[in-house]
Structure 1
Amino acid sequence: MAKRISLHEFQAGLARRLADTRDNRALALLAVQAGQRNWLVDLTEAGEILAVPPLATVPLAEPWFRGLASVRGNLFGVVDFAAFHGDPSIAPAGQARLLLVGVRHELNCAILVSRALGLRSLDDFEVVSSPAPTEPPWVGDLVRDSLGTPWTRLKVAELLNHPRFLDAAQS
Structure 2
Amino acid sequence: MANPLIQSPFQWLQDLERRARQRAKGLPRREKVEPMWRGIGFRLGESYLITPLNEIREILPYTTQLAKVPGAKSWVKGLANIRGMLLPIIDLRACLEGKAITIENRSRMLIINQAGILAGLVVDEVMGIKHFPEHIRDSDTPCKEVWISPFARGLFTYEGMTWTVFNMHALAESELFRKVAL
Query: TM-score band, normalised by the shorter chain?
Result: 0.7 to 0.9
Deviation at 1:126, TM superposition (A): 4.1
Quick one: which of 135, 138, 147 aligns to 2:151? Answer: 138
Deviation, structure 1 residue 48: 0.2
Give the aligned partner of residue 39 of structure 1. 49
Instruction: Note the aligned Cα RMSD (angstroms).
Output: 2.5
Aligned length: 144
Give the equivalent residue in structure 2 for 1:65: 76
Cα pair 1:35 1:87 within 8 Å, conserved: no
The verdict on how the C-alpha distance between 1:93 and 1:61 changes in structure 2, with shifts beyond 3 A counting, is: same
The runs of 5 or more residues in structure 1 that have no matched partner are: 4-23
Structure 2: runs of 5 or more not aligned:
1-12, 14-34
2:121 match: 111
SS of residue matched to 1:39: strand
Per the normalisation by structure 1, the TM-score is: 0.73
Q: Does 1:163 align with 2:175?
A: yes
C-alpha contact 1:28 1:122 (8 A) present in aligned 2: yes
> C-alpha distance in 2, partners of 1:49/1:62?
24
Aligned mates of 2:143, 2:47 — CA distance in 1: 14
2:59 is aligned to 49
User: For the pair shown, which has the larger CA radius of gyration, 1 or 2?
Assistant: 2
Deviation string for 1:101-123 (max 9, x for gaps)? 12x54422111001110111131
Amino acid at match of 1:91: T
CA distance in 2, matches of 1:156, 1:79: 13
Provide the rounded CA distance (Å) in 1 between the counterparts of 2:177 and 2:61.
Answer: 22
Matches within 5 A, 1:144-155: 144-147=157-160, 149-155=161-167
Percent identity of paired positions between Structure 1 and Structure 2: 22
TM-score by length of 2: 0.69
Inter-partner Cα distance in structure 2 for 1:69 and 1:91 = 19
**Pick aligned residue for 2:91 from 67, 80, 91:** 80
Number of the residue aligned with 1:95: 106
